[in-house]
């Protein structure tokens, strides 16, 4: 048996030996996941111990991180918009920046209880599940990847909203087949330029390229969604995107050129224009 405090120091020192700066925060995350405690008890850890299997699980997690495996895949779960989201290899990891997209989306539908939304490229289902869990709306979650569809099903069941989240396989690059149905369409599409993919951090390169590569200028999916899905919105409905660094102006222009009104941008916690949206006439 080893105390959690001693285990925390051991993991932190391992991170330091591998020149990883995130040791303190990640050591707490790892111990909480594999030793059944919580971060708010951190200062009481001296009274708690880990058995041999828990200790080995924590040390194995640290070794996997040193090999650049994303922490979210190792833990199998991450907090997004105040709720748990299961994370699976082959599925994009939910990020804090995307919480802003959910916040803006929920502000557009307000107290309406019967609205319908679509989440394009649903990935883990983080956006679709968050919308359903924080309103009475119904969400159609679309993705081309079977792994993503299964992840979205799992997370909607985990959060108790499976009755209001429907998954469907489909491509954002193809015509929608819906007309005037949705009050809200949201998407965090692939937006990394193809020539930047090889330079991504090793952890990011562990995630599916399908969810990252946005084409030569990073805007392929924005153009396709505006073209293929605008007709699926009701008049007055909102189309909202997460965008990459430096893309907000171009995406806003795409919406304006497609005759969306009230085109707006929203900055994330780092002051980067991260969400762009427009309202259908």
Residue list for the binding site for substrate: 188-191
Summarize the annotated binding site for S-adenosyl-L-methionine as residue ranges.
121-125, 143, 188
Distances (CA, A) of 61 to 9, 11, 15, 86, 201: 15, 9, 11, 17, 19
Q: How far is residue 66's CA from residue 43's CA, in Å, rounded to a whole number?
A: 26
**Residue 158 burial (CB < 10 Å; 0-12/13-18/19+)?**
middle
Cα–Cα distance measured from residue 16 to residue 184, given in angstroms and rounded to the nearest whole number = 46
Task: Give the sign of the dihedral formed by CA 183, CA 188, CA 189, CA 195.
Answer: positive
Instruction: For residue 15, give both structure tokens.
Output: 């991170």
Binding-site residue ranges: 121-125, 143, 188-191
Residue 4 has which token pair?
Answer: 């959690």
């Amino acid at each position: 048996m080893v105390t959690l405090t001693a285990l925390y120091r051991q993991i932190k020192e391992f991170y330091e030996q591998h020149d990883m700066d995130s040791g303190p925060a990640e050591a707490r995350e790892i111990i909480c996941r594999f030793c059944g405690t919580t971060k708010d008890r951190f200062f009481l850890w001296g009274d708690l111990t880990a058995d041999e299997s828990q200790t080995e699980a924590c040390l194995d997690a640290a070794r996997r991180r040193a090999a650049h495996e994303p922490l979210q895949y190792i833990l199998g779960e991450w907090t997004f918009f105040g709720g748990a989201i299961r994370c699976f290899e082959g599925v994009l990891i939910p990020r804090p920046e995307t919480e802003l997209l959910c916040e803006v989306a929920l502000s557009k539908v307000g107290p309406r209880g019967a609205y319908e939304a679509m989440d394009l490229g649903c990935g883990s289902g983080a956006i679709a599940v968050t919308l359903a869990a924080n309103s009475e709306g119904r969400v159609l979650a679309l993705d081309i990847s079977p792994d993503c569809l299964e992840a979205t099903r799992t997370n909607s069941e985990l959060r108790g909203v499976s009755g209001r989240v429907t998954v469907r396989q489909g491509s954002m690059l193809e015509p929608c087949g819906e007309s005037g149905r949705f009050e809200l369409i949201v998407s965090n599409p692939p937006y990394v330029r193809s020539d930047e993919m090889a330079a991504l951090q090793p952890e990011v390169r562990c995630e599916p390229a399908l969810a990252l590569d946005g084409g030569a200028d990073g805007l392929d999916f924005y153009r396709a969604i505006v073209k293929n899905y605008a007709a699926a919105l009701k008049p007055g409905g909102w189309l909202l995107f997460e965008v990459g660094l430096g893309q907000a102006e171009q995406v806003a222009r795409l919406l304006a050129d497609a005759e969306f009104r009230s085109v707006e941008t929203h900055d994330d916690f780092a002051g980067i224009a991260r969400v762009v949206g427009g309202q259908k006439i």
